[in-house]
Each structure stands twice: as structure tokens, then as C-alpha cells.
Structure 1
Amino acid sequence: MKETLEKTELQLLQEFALPEISPATDEEIIAYLRRSYQVAEIAAKTERDALILGICEQFGVTVSDEELQAAGDEFRLEHTLLGASETLNWLSFQRITVEDWSSGIKVSLLTKKLKEFLFGAGVDNYYINNRNNFKRVALSQILVRELTEALKIAHAIRQENASFCALALLHSKGKQSKENGGFAGIRFLSELMPDIAQTVSKAKEAEVIGPIETTLGYHIIKIEKWFPSELTESVREEIFESLFQGWLQERLNLELRDKKL
């Protein structure tokens, strides 16, 4: 009897035809953003781009056709869009036009050129004055919620020579560190939480520090390796972004204040 019912249910499911779903319209996409509470986030990004474009116009920061073409070629290479058909298929999948795509590349280029226009001359000095923030460190961590547990783990590592990796796999509540046996990656000091960065900056290779309390819980950290500080292209880009975001936030705050007056 049960087997017969299961077969009947299966037949009904197989015979049931799903309704045809048409591609979502722009209005339907906007409605989804509203009901999923994402409008504020998208609106903020839209307003940021509008502010950047306005500032570029004020300062005379422009993008040439040659620069736009080169950026487009670089984008296609990066995304393996090596021919016209691959590019058109990608545009179709993204539901955008060639003009939309070109506009996005142009905004990215203008943003990059504005950063260079505003801060290009000051990056070296900023790096020199904040060199320690750009030291890189490879570290492992065990994150737990309770201080008692953290103290037991730290004692086991220091006094009983317990395996940091094994304890991370057993106890860490941090998803990345638990999955990787404690290893949390290579980070700039400036990327770490302030309380952690302050303690880590004074530690030596192979040293285990903590527990350090943060809003996330208690961290036991092992310094795997220090890397020398150097002004690489990625560090330069991080400095540009940091300076630019701070400057841009000031402009936004001023604009909001002026609107209130």
C-alpha cells in the first residue's frame, strides 16, 4: 500500500508542469531589491558613483577613447571573453548592453584616475609614515567564545606542547581557521582588528599570544612568519583606496550637512 502511494505521488510530480517563467523586468528586479531590503545598499553605491563623476568633471579628470579601449581589452582578457561571440553571450547573461558595460568600465577608470589625481604625489610619504601598518604576517588562530576554554587551550599549547593545528580543528569557532587547521592567512597589520594588531605587532615568529578578547570572542594566535614591509603595487593600491575612501566620506558628510542647513 505504501509503495503504491509513493508511486502515485511520484507520477503526480512527474506530470505536474511548472509554470513558465519569463525573464524578470527592470521593474520586477527593483521590486525584489525593495522587498529584500537591499535598496539602501544599492542606492549608496549609486550615489557614490554619481559623486565621483561629478568630482571628475569639476577637476577635469577624463578618460580617452584609447584608455577605454585598452581597459575593455584587459577586461575581456581577464574574463576570457576572447571573441565577439563570447562577449555577446556574457552581455546577454548579465542582461546588459554594450553601452552599460562600457559605462561600468569608464566609471572604474575615472575612479582610478581620480585617486591618482588626488593622492598620487602623497602615496610614498604616507607609506613611509605608516610603514608598520603594511607589514604582512602569516598567522594561525583559534577562536572560542568562553575565556575558561581559551585559557585551557593556551595552557595546553604553551605548557603541554599540544598541536595548535589539532586544537584549532577541535575547538575553533572561526569557520576559516577551523577548516584550515588554524591557519588564517597572510594579512597586513592594518587589516587586523585593532586589539589584535597591537599585540601581534610586538610578537616574534613562532610565538603564541593570547587569549585576546574582541567582540567575536577570545583569540589564541600563533605568529607563523613575518614578511618585510615593501611598497608593492598591491600596497600602493591599498593606500590609494584607504586615502580615497576617507576623502570621499568627508565629501559625503559635507554634502549631507549642507542639505540639512
Structure 2
Amino acid sequence: MTNFFIFSDVDIIQQIKLSCQIPDIIEAIATRKIIADSADKAGIKIEKGELQQSADNIRLNKKLIKSEDTWIWLQKHYLSLDEFKELARINLLSEKLANYLFAKQVEPFFFEHQLDYAASVTYEVVLDDEDLAWKLFYALQENKISFPEIARQYIQDPELRRVGGYCGIQHRSNFRPEIAAYVFAAHPPQILKPMITQEGIYLIWVEEIIQPQLNEPLRCKILGDLFSAWLKQQLEEVKILVQLEQ
């Protein structure tokens, strides 16, 4: 067996085909063209300083602190310096186009969908015995037992048991619809009445309801979601012709 291989463009394209990645690659190419064409029609320009900042942002996200780190990363991904600049340019065009199209829509969208961005801090135990669930519920109401004690006794999963059934900060979409309605109507701290589902009987302690605020991270998320939905629509409307050499 040889100690090294030499791969051609044909070999790489063949492997992409055999890996069934062609549809994803085509969609990515089409997305890049849609962004470039739309930015051009909108008259969006990129200044030299902005391009450098975009390149610096890529390095920061990839944790490429030293110039040597950057060169190693470029070699790993078979990118030239010019191609790295093109990557930075496309990223910046995407950001500018998203702001051009949707920056003014973020705030109205947030207030229209404000309930979707509320979050809760909950603890839960899932039981398979309804009578037991009600017994524990009333015991909690009468302070005869604490939720952590219930978690230690009835949660099977070791990791979840160690944290007392803590489910973290979750949004409405993370819950089953029927459970979400009760969780976000709670007045924390509150233990909810047992809820019967196909997975079992849920006993949930709502520690906190976190009301949403339109801060910068959420603003960026909404902007990204609106832009992604727009790109998806554009992809559905465009006709794509592919010519691959056999």
C-alpha cells in the first residue's frame, strides 16, 4: 500500500456524489448566489474596513488567535487567502442583506410573538402511577415532602436525579402544548397538578417564569430566523439547473 494518495477534483466530486451530499451543496451554492444577487440589487456595498472586521469575526468564532492558527485552518480546509476573503465577504453580505430586509420588522415581530419567547425554569418527575402522583402532589401542598426528595426517590435517570429533576430554562416550544399552557399560566414558585400524557404522569414544579426582553442576542436570533425563512422561500421559487461532467 502506498504511503500517500493524490486526489483530483473528479475524485472529490465523485465522493460528494456517493455521500449523497449533492443536494445540500447545490442548495448552498444557490443560497450564496441569491444573497449576492439580492445584495447587488439593493445597492449594498462593502468597505475595506468592514471586510477586515468580518474576517476577524470568522477567526474569533473559529478561535484562530494567532496568524499561524489561521494558516493551519486554511490548509486543513484547502482554502486560499483569497477564498477566505470571499468567505468573509459572503458572511458580511448576508448580515447586511438581513438588516436591509428585516431590521425594521424585528421589533413588531417580537411583540406579535412575545409569548413564544417567554421562558420557564422547571423541575419535573414523570411517574407511571396516577394515584401516587396525586398523593405526592398533596404531600407537597402540605409541606410533608420536598420536590428534591421526590426526585431522589422516583427519578430513574442518575444524572437527572442528581439535579433534582431540573430541566433548565425552556421556552414554550420545548413543552407539549397541553403542558405549556399550564406551565406559563403558573404563579411561581408553584407545584402544578399532575398531568397525564402518553409518556406518563408529569409532576412539575415551576420555579420561575422569565418574561422576554428584546435584548441584542434575541434581536439577532429573530433577525436570523426572518432571514432564513426568506432564503427558504427564495430557494423554493428559483429554478436550478445543474451541469456535472460525467
TM-score (norm 1): 0.70
* Aligned-partner SS, 2:104: coil
**Distance between the aligned counterparts of 1:193 and 1:183, measured in 2?**
17
1:87 matched to 2:70: yes
* Aligned-partner SS, 1:127: helix
Report how far residue 53 of structure 1 moved.
1.9
Structure 1: 5+ residue runs without aligned partners?
Answer: 1-17, 257-261
C-alpha spacing 1:178/1:185, structure 2 compared with 1 (3 Å): same
**Distance between the aligned counterparts of 2:6 and 2:151, measured in 1?**
49
**Distance between the aligned counterparts of 2:79 and 2:196, measured in 1?**
48
Are the counterparts in 2 of residues 168 and 182 from structure 1 also a CA contact under 8 Å?
no
Instruction: Map 1:68-217 onto structure 2 (within 5 A).
Output: 68-141=51-124, 149=128, 151=130, 154-155=133-134, 157-159=136-138, 161=145, 163=149, 165-166=151-152, 169-170=155-156, 182-190=165-173, 192=175, 194-209=177-192, 211=195, 213=197, 217=199
Aligned Cα root-mean-square deviation (Å): 3.4
Larger proportion of helix: 1
Report how far residue 35 of structure 1 moved.
2.8
More RCO (CA 8 Å, sep 6+): 2
Report how far residue 219 of structure 1 moved.
7.7
Structure 2: 5+ residue runs without aligned partners?
Answer: 140-144, 240-246
**Distance between the aligned counterparts of 1:237 and 1:206, measured in 2?**
31
**Distance between the aligned counterparts of 1:169 and 1:223, measured in 2?**
17
How many pairs align? 230
Are the counterparts in 2 of residues 134 and 188 from structure 1 also a CA contact under 8 Å?
yes
Match of 2:37 in 1: 54
The residue type equivalent to 2:19 in the other structure is S
TM-score (norm 2): 0.73
Are the counterparts in 2 of residues 115 and 244 from structure 1 also a CA contact under 8 Å?
yes
Residue-by-residue CA offset, 1:95-146 (whole Å, 9 max, x unaligned): 2222222222222211111111111112222222222222222234457xxx
